[in-house]
Every structure is written in C-alpha cells, then in structure tokens.
Amino acid sequence: MITVAVVDDDRMLLDGMRAWLGGVPELRLVATEATVGALIGAPGTEHPPAPAESGYTPPDVVLLDLMLRDGSAPADNIRRLLRTGSRVLVISTVPDRSRIIESIRAGADGYLTKDNDLPTLVAAVKDVAAGHNAHSTELAFACAHDDGPDRPRLSPRERQILLDYASGMTLKSAARRAGITVHTAKDYLDRVKAKYQQAGRPTYTKLDLARRVHEDSLDGV
C-alpha cells in the first residue's frame, strides 16, 4: 500500500483527487492540504521538525502543485517535503520548461500536467514510490530542450558511459558494453566530469554522477 498526500489550493482538484485515488486499491490517500506547512504541521519554518518530534507521519509520495497561492517557492516546497522523508511528484497546469527543470534539480522525482488521466497518474506514483523517476512527455521534452548553462552538452557516447557507470556498472563493464577499451571509457567519464565542473556542478564520485543523471533526467531523454 502506497500512502499519498496532495498539496494543492484548488478545492475542486482536491475533491477530484479524493474520488480518483479512493478507487485505486494500491494507493491510500492520507491527507489533502493547501500548503506544505499545513501538511507537515510546521507552517513558516524552513526546517520542519523530525517526524517523530512533530507527530507527522510522512506519506510515501506527495503530489505537489507547482504554484501555490501562498507565494511559496516551488523549489523550497520540494526540499521541505524531501527533508521529512517523502518523495515528490510535481503536478501543474502547464508544461513550463524552466519550472520543470527547476523542480527536478530541487529533488522532485517527476512532473505531470493536470490533464493526464488516472492510469498515468497511478503509474507515476508507483514509479516514484519505488525510487524511480516518473518519466512523462512533459519532462522528456523539457530535458531534451534544456539549454541552460548549468547543463553540460554530452555526446551520445559520453552519455552512454555516464548512464551505465552511474547505474552501478563497473567502468570495465560499461566499456565492454560500449565496445571500447577501459582507457577510452575513462577518458569519456573524465570529459563528463570536466563538463560538469565547468558548468559549476562539480561531480567527483559515482554517487555524484548518479545525482546528475537524476537531476538532468538523462535516463529518460
């Protein structure tokens, strides 16, 4: 059973979510609130108390409206929810490319527009709860056309080596899969690290590389 909360200040949408998710046996809707502060029980605080201290039990996944009327910054809302232990799936009325990228960089595990159907939403929630990115057309388009200065331009071979190595393969295995020598694979990986360094996003370890893959949604483009 996957527990879900929704943060949205559209009362009609909240009513719709209750009806939608109430009919999905694998999901349990545990809360609907208009702000992140109301959900976690710590309004106005930058660092919410630990769940054990506040009495708040974080749901597995929070469906977070991108733009709330309380004026809160989307990236701040995402980070506050992540600190409680929940994963975040952003929902929005528009596929705004810059906001999609900002949400993923802040730690959200996916981005859906509100015109998607219930099966798409359920599949996305399940992916996020399992620790995966919830890939969508909106997210793929935004990442494919992201030309921000902090997103390095990787060649197809650089991207392949990055994805294989960051997924847990050894460099030797990544090289073998690509049909190149280990020395050449290391050269590609070094180029990837250098490009991220130049973009102001230093990447030193395999964990750092995995974070960059997630932040830039490279495995879904």
146-171 pLDDT, tens digit each: 556 667 778 888 888 888 888 888 98
> 151 lies in a domain?
no
**Which of 111, 144, 177 is the endpoint of a domain?**
144
Q: Of residues 136 and 178, which shows the higher confidence score?
A: 178
Residue-level pLDDT at 56: 79
Residue-level pLDDT at 175: 92
11-23 pLDDT, tens digit each: 888 899 999 888 8
Answer for the pair 124, 147: CB distance below 8 angstroms, yes or no. Answer: no
What is Dmax (Cα atoms) for the chain? 58
CA–CA gap between residue 106 and residue 165 (Å, rounded): 23
User: Residue 31 corresponds to which tokens in the numbers above?
Assistant: 């809360």
Residues 139 and 183 in one domain: no
Radius of gyration over every alpha carbon of the chain, rounded to an integer in angstroms: 19
How many percent of the chain have pLDDT more than 90? 30
Closest CA to 108 of 2, 1, 36, 193: 36
Mean pLDDT for 77-82 is 94
**Residues 142-146: contacts with CB within 8 Å, 24+ apart?**
142/95, 142/97, 142/100, 142/101, 142/111, 143/100, 143/101, 143/104, 143/216, 143/217, 143/218, 143/220, 143/221, 144/221, 145/97, 146/97, 146/101, 146/216
**202 CB-contact burial (10 Å; exposed 0-12 / middle 13-18 / buried 19+):** exposed
Residues 170 and 129 in one domain: no
> 149 lies in a domain?
no
Residues 60 and 31 in one domain: yes
- Give phi and psi for 56, each to the nearest 5: -85, 130
**Which of 14-18, 45-49, 136-140, 182-186 has the weakest average pLDDT?**
45-49
Residues 109 and 54 in one domain: yes
Residues 93 and 192 in one domain: no
Residue-level pLDDT at 49: 45
Per-residue pLDDT at 141 exceeds 70: no
22-40 pLDDT, tens digit each: 889 999 999 999 999 999 9
> 167 lies in a domain?
yes
Residues 186 and 91 in one domain: no
As a whole number, the mean pLDDT across the chain is 83
How many percent of the chain have pLDDT more than 70? 84
Mean pLDDT for 91-118 is 82
**Which of 105, 123, 144 is the endpoint of a domain?**
144
> 150 lies in a domain?
no
Residue-level pLDDT at 168: 85
Residue 163 is part of which domain span?
156-220
The conformational region for residue 168 under phi > 0 = left, psi -120 to 50 = alpha, else beta, is left
| Number of domains observed in the structure of the chain | 2
Residues 126 and 20 in one domain: yes
Per-residue pLDDT at 221 exceeds 60: no
Residues 139 and 214 in one domain: no
**156 CB-contact burial (10 Å; exposed 0-12 / middle 13-18 / buried 19+):** exposed
Closest CA to 218 of 150, 124, 107, 140: 140
CATH of the domain at 59: 3.40.50.2300
Q: Of residues 50 and 57, which shows the higher confidence score?
A: 57
**Which of 123, 144, 165 is the endpoint of a domain?**
144
